Amino acid sequence: MIKQNYLTHSHVKLLFRPTKDDFVVSEIPLYEFSGSGEHLILQVRKKDLTTWTMIDTIARHIGTKARDIGYAGMKDKNAMTIQYISCHNSFEPKLGTFKDDKIKILNTTYHENKIRIGHLKANKFFIRLKQVQKSSVPVLNEAIKHITTHGMANYFGYQRFGIDGDNHEKGQLILQGKLKEKNIKLKKLFLSAYQSYNFNNWLSKRVEISNLVREFKPKELVKILKLDISTITDMKDQTQPFKLLHGDVLSHYPHGRLFLCEDISSEAQRFVERTISPTGLLVGHKTTHAQDIAKIYEEQFDTPADKLDGARRYAWIFPTDISSNYNEDKKHLELEFTLPKGCYATEFVWHICGMPAKKC
């Protein structure tokens, strides 16, 4: 995998190993459940299990197929996670006898519709970082302050690429017709990893460009980036860390329609105000593509993927509800924050410590 570029560089040594005690994820539903309807909504807490395993376990107990159980998104295995799933209310009596050491049904209610992928507003996280020296706390807090003020790059986390980090390679082989995967879930996982890998490469390139714009003078940038002085000036005039380009595909934030960046000055101001954010390409043939200057950089990572529809993903996000607490005796730094759906808490850690969250 490519080494991702960041706009904050703390380079602090610490320890973060995702476990049920040090990594807690709680879903924030997209909407309030009505309390009536044919679908039973379960708030479930799981420990050290994938979402698929949790769903399979419950499905077997109530005597239905896993595909009949609705869920909004996948949650980490090496964590304690609280999420919502749904099934037909006819299975409620059988759920009364459900018991599992790693799964607990916390609450139930009803709703008219089945929960589906994406029916999620955000995720709230608790993370405990260990072996944090007191001298490192001001540095980490400064990085946290930077993210609170400016947001952060929305990379896909290492989890996306599998234990060996090669899921994207399998996805590429599937697209090339060189690998056949009969397991539909695994096939989707590999293809998604391929899209994620290209997205991360593109985003890293754009963050690198933003860093260069901050560090060098206009005349130097013309030579380095091989762009005209007008484009360089447009980027230099922007106050936000991630620089917009003409032709970027923007989206209203935290959700909304896509549109092209045409007026750099006004769109940059809206970006600072957090009402819009740039998006990156998840390769495929049925989605909006960048134009003009932005197209130059997107094309480098827009590889053939006719079998995929494609989509756009926010390149930049704004974490909220951020707080930190340092325990000097235990050398623990405890973090709480909320991220939009589909964003990775481990990337938040990587942003503040300056090294892979998996290896901290």
* C-alpha to C-alpha distance for 151 and 218, rounded to whole angstroms: 25
Same domain, 297 and 167: yes
Q: Which of 76, 234, 237, 248 is catalytic?
A: 76
Euclidean distance between CA atoms 283 and 289, whole angstroms: 9
In a shared domain, residues 310 and 163:
yes
Tell me the pLDDT band of 240, cut-offs 50, 70 and 90.
very high
Pair 104, 236 in one domain: no
> Is residue 7 over pLDDT 70?
no
d(CA 154, CA 19) in angstroms, rounded, equals 23
Residues of the domain holding 304:
158-317
- Range in 69-73, 80-84, 303-307 the model is least confident about: 303-307
Concerning whether 237 is annotated as a catalytic residue, the answer is no
> Which of 86, 118, 150 corresponds to the end of one domain?
118
Structure tokens belonging to residue 247: 């032709």
3 state SS for the chain = CCCCCCCCCCCCCCECCCCCCCEEEEEEECCCCCCCCCEEEEEEEEECCCHHHHHHHHHHHHCCCHHHCEECCCCCCCCEEEEEEEEEHHHHHHHCCCCECCEEEEEEEEECCCCCCCCEEEEEEEEEEECCCHHHHHHHHHHHHHHHHHCEECCCCHHHHCCCCCHHHHHHHHHCCCCCCCCHHHHHHHHHHHHHHHHHHHHHHHHHHHHHHHHCCHHHHHHHHCCCHHHHHHHHCCCCCCCCCCCCEEEECCCCCEEECCCHHHHHHHHHCCCEEEEEEECCCCCCCCCHHHHHHHHHHCCCCCCCCCEEEECEECCEEEEEEEECCCCEEEEEEEEECCCCHHHHHHHHHCCCHHHC
Q: What is the rounded average pLDDT of the residues 74-82?
A: 93
pTM: 0.91
How many angstroms separate the CA atoms of 66 and 87, rounded? Answer: 10
Q: Is residue 70 part of a domain?
A: yes
Q: Is residue 130 part of a domain?
A: no
Rounded CA-CA distance 262/246 in Å is 6
Query: By C-alpha distance, which of 160, 162, 168, 158 is closest to 303?
Result: 168
* Average model confidence (pLDDT) across the chain: 93
Nearest of 314, 315, 313, 326 to residue 352 by alpha carbon: 326
What does the alpha-carbon distance between residue 157 and residue 159 come to, in Å, rounded to a whole number? 5
pLDDT at 3: 59
* In a shared domain, residues 110 and 45: yes
Residues 82 and 167 in one domain: no
- pLDDT of 358 above 70: no
Confidence (pLDDT) at 357: 46
Residue 159: the pLDDT is 86
> Quick one: 182 and 296 in the same domain?
yes
Q: For strands 249-252 and 320-327, give the pairing.
A: unpaired
- The verdict on residue 1 lying in a domain is no
The confidence score (pLDDT) of residue 359 equals 47
Mean per-residue pLDDT for 3-10?
66
> Same domain, yes or no, for 185 and 313?
yes
Which among 118, 143, 176 is the end of a domain?
A: 118
Verify that 188 and 89 share a domain, yes or no.
no
User: Between residues 358 and 311, which one has the greater pLDDT?
Assistant: 311
Please report which confidence band the pLDDT of residue 360 belongs to, taking 50, 70 and 90 as the band edges: very low
83 in the same domain as 215: no
98 and 164 part of one domain: no
Domain membership flag for residue 278: yes
Query: Are 163 and 111 contained in the same domain?
Result: no
pLDDT surpasses 80 at 154: yes
Which of 155, 158, 123, 129 is CA-nearest to residue 319? 123
Given a cut of 60, whether residue 112 has pLDDT beyond it is yes
Kindly report the CATH number assigned to the domain that includes residue 71: 3.30.2350.20
308 lies in a domain?
yes
Domain boundary (92, 118, 144) is at: 118
- Write the pLDDT tens digit of every residue in 277-300: 999 999 998 999 999 999 999 999
Place of tokens 């006004």: 266
Interacting residues of 119 by C-beta distance below 8 A, sequence separation 6+: 29, 30, 31, 70, 72
Number of domains in the chain: 2
228 lies in some domain: yes
Q: Verify that 172 and 269 share a domain, yes or no.
A: yes
> What's the confidence (pLDDT) of residue 322?
97
**pLDDT for residue 93 is more than 80:** yes
Q: Is 258 part of a structural domain of the chain?
A: yes
Q: Which residues pair with 312 in a beta bridge?
A: 281
Checking if the pLDDT of 196 tops 90, the result is yes
pLDDT reported for residue 9:
57
260 burial (CB, 10 Å; 0-12 / 13-18 / 19+) is middle
CATH number assigned to the domain comprising residue 309: 3.30.2340.10
Residue 105 maps to a domain: yes
User: Average pLDDT in the 19-39 region?
Assistant: 95
